[in-house]
Structure 1
């Protein structure tokens, strides 16, 4: 039942409309001090405009203190909110960050900065704005490092694309001759080309012994048209890639050092190395023991969960933190991640069940973890393939990502020791559940299921 009691819940709450050059602030009319003489005539007394320099932000906080404000709501506009948010929190205000979609003006009303800040303040005063999730300051620092790392990985990937483009324009089929142009063989050949070597047979001599292609095959792929402009583009792309790899190494060192400064929750326990036989280490994998360091700061090993590796565990924990009390249940958690459908209905009918949009980095990492379960011979892999056969790959990916998210939630909130379920155990449990459902349906129709001894072993 919807309550008609719309009461003021934040009588000392302010609203801020954030911009790149100025911030517009509105406080309750009852909290506003006497209008100063230099206050613009067209502005209400309870609305002020401030600049974005640090001195201006200090004046803004001083004015809020003078007005007796205790809580502030602001939109998460770009990154312009970050300095103001941190300063107000440091000054003791309760600051909530709001999704701009929640503060949209009613259709038909005029939209100005003066009206926007008053609208935010009014919605906040009635408690109609839900705060966006923001982890603790300690986790925010880790999150900043990880986002910088992801940006460097993206830049390196673009440099590889530029290298491949320059090679293709010269009809140098290095990408066809080696599996990875940034591997040992590929980089040796590229550096020799940049030093001036053009003879395909000499270039093929740089082939590593583990390379599948023969020297003759590689030499045939390295015959092309050595145009000056394409060589220049190749040179710049290779230098950019090497620079970004050095930057990534520095970033990994900074992440490692920061994790070592965080509180140790492992109780002195050290994890045994995971078996890596037959597994190739990803080029973007952390260049330090992230698994043990994450175990120290969280007290739990997320890599026990199917699909989650060191990189994805780093991303997930840096985005959600270690405190699961922010979400009442795992359903709230998966809803925040955007991994469950939104049931939008009207007149007794469900219009759509689309997923909530948004660029949630933790959800993206969980989807990548789910993708890794596609061919896995475990319970999670069996679940993925079962849903895929029934509903398609896209829905199987989301369903598996949600299942992984539920396990992450339980592991961090309740401290449950995660035990991987074998694929055969999952299949047996599914068979029992399916049999019970069929028996119940048969009983409703007046029939009785009788086991077939010959077919039971093949079901």
Structure 2
């Protein structure tokens, strides 16, 4: 049976670092289809030539695989001249085994595209793309800073300086002054301990003992280099934060809605907007959004057997932000999300509880952004009310009666 042609004029690109092989499929004027293949470079001038080649053939939809970062410059150039530019998940493009070439891949992709057998991935508009680049890079810099701080902690431990055993943070204001003094040559533990500020001053006797290590010039050199990288990371994070704030001005209302969710900080709200945008019309319902983000279990059933339903791959940046928000929500008082986390953690462990609460946060975010209304918490006693509901009481009575018992309920005083 011949498949129906869904897109009259389409093309598919097999994109690599230096080349892009294009296959265009258009009507031949005799009731059939014609196929043309051409190869272009990936410099801007070559991509503009590719755009002209596609326009000459009246192509209205172009598809390409989401491979690495090589599709991005192609997409940015073509979206200005072609009505629809689709980026397609590579898992949906698998061909039958055989002789694999760039031309064969582009022909296969064009065939799938013209018959409507693939769907486009979500590509946000340019302002959200710029915001996404900044929030992702900020997260990477924050992680780099954390690793550098951990290295600093190891050097202090090697030197016998047990600052972390007394202070909750090695790089608090007091801790930083103590480390700077060590680098400058101060070795007297009493003098170092007196640099403590605020609540740390109550720990001065313990600090004197903790700071009496064998810190030497070798440790000083390492700590100085590590602190320089920490300072540079702090400056970068601050600069990125300023720019992110500027780009988020048009989305200030959306951010204000998201921070009403327990566990969602200003920074987490920024990441959510950067990853999914503020326009929820792209996702028909909250379930579609959760599935796209990889924050809900999969469905894997065959011949009546249910196999592993682990979550699919989604945006790792969004997942990290939602998991962090879930852990923060678990520490809130008298909230639905904290109660949900506690209930699932008891049965299935903290990791699955965090994913489940992260899923709930994302579902709530979809509703808030769709309806434009702030979060209304169900309360920390929500699950207790469900367990004590009249419907549950009737269900338990029915189970006892099914076992041959006669049940008479008496209201407790």
Q: How far is 1:245 from its partner?
A: 0.5
SS of structure 1 residue aligned to 2:21: strand
Choose which of 18, 27, 44 in structure 2 pairs with 1:54: 44
Partner of 1:198: 187
Partner of 2:131: 142
TM-score, length basis structure 1: 0.82
Listed one character per residue, the Cα deviations across residues 302-355 of structure 1 (whole Å, up to 9, x for unaligned) are 122222221211111111111112122222222112222222111122122222
Contact 1:10 1:126 in 2 (8 A): yes
Given the alignment of the two structures, is residue 233 of structure 1 paired with residue 233 of structure 2, yes or no?
no
Corresponding pairs, count? 407
SS of structure 1 residue aligned to 2:117: coil
Structure 2 unaligned segments of length 5 or more: list them.
Answer: none
Q: How far is 1:448 from its partner?
A: 5.8
Partner of 2:72: 82
Contact 1:177 1:213 in 2 (8 A): no
**Hey, what's the Cα distance between the residues in 1 that align with 2:401 and 2:363?**
34
Choose which of 318, 323, 347 in structure 2 pairs with 1:390: 347
Partner of 1:178: 167
Partner of 1:272: none
Name the CA shift for 1:45/1:426 in 2 (closer, same or farther; >3 Å).
closer
Partner of 2:323: 367
Choose which of 250, 270, 280 in structure 2 pairs with 1:324: 280
Contact 1:366 1:405 in 2 (8 A): yes
Choose which of 79, 87, 94 in structure 2 pairs with 1:97: 87
Q: How far is 1:301 from its partner?
A: 1.3
Structure 1 residues 115-124 or 239-248, which shifts more? 115-124
Contact 1:73 1:96 in 2 (8 A): yes
Given the alignment of the two structures, is residue 435 of structure 1 paired with residue 402 of structure 2, yes or no?
no
Partner of 1:214: 203
Across the aligned residues of Structure 1 and Structure 2, the Cα RMSD in angstroms comes to: 2.5
Name the CA shift for 1:69/1:448 in 2 (closer, same or farther; >3 Å).
farther
Given the alignment of the two structures, is residue 120 of structure 1 paired with residue 109 of structure 2, yes or no?
yes
**Hey, what's the Cα distance between the residues in 2 that align with 1:53 and 1:71?**
21
**Hey, what's the Cα distance between the residues in 2 that align with 1:347 and 1:431?**
38
Name the CA shift for 1:196/1:227 in 2 (closer, same or farther; >3 Å).
closer
Which structure shows the bigger proportion of residues in helix conformation? Answer: 2
Choose which of 17, 23, 28 in structure 2 pairs with 1:26: 23
Contact 1:370 1:397 in 2 (8 A): yes
Q: How far is 1:387 from its partner?
A: 2.2
Q: How far is 1:411 from its partner?
A: 1.4
Contact 2:271 2:318 in 1 (8 A): yes
Choose which of 54, 59, 79 in structure 2 pairs with 1:64: 54
How do residues 285-434 of structure 1 correspond to structure 2 at under 5 angstroms?
A: 294-295=252-253, 298=254, 301-376=257-332, 377-432=334-389, 433-434=391-392
Name the CA shift for 1:449/1:74 in 2 (closer, same or farther; >3 Å).
farther
**Hey, what's the Cα distance between the residues in 2 that align with 1:418 and 1:164?**
40
**Hey, what's the Cα distance between the residues in 1 that align with 2:87 and 2:402?**
53
Contact 1:300 1:412 in 2 (8 A): no
Name the CA shift for 1:90/1:103 in 2 (closer, same or farther; >3 Å).
same
Name the CA shift for 1:361/1:188 in 2 (closer, same or farther; >3 Å).
same
Choose which of 106, 111, 120 in structure 2 pairs with 1:131: 120
SS of structure 2 residue aligned to 1:352: coil
Listed one character per residue, the Cα deviations across residues 341-396 of structure 1 (whole Å, up to 9, x for unaligned) are 22211112212222213444223322222222334332221222222223333332
Q: How far is 1:169 from its partner?
A: 2.4
Structure 1 unaligned segments of length 5 or more: list them.
Answer: 33-43, 263-292
**Hey, what's the Cα distance between the residues in 2 that align with 1:149 and 1:448?**
65
Q: How far is 1:442 from its partner?
A: 4.1
Contact 2:294 2:315 in 1 (8 A): no
**Hey, what's the Cα distance between the residues in 1 that align with 2:7 and 2:405?**
62
TM-score, length basis structure 2: 0.90
Name the CA shift for 1:300/1:429 in 2 (closer, same or farther; >3 Å).
farther
**Hey, what's the Cα distance between the residues in 2 that align with 1:47 and 1:31?**
15
SS of structure 1 residue aligned to 2:79: helix
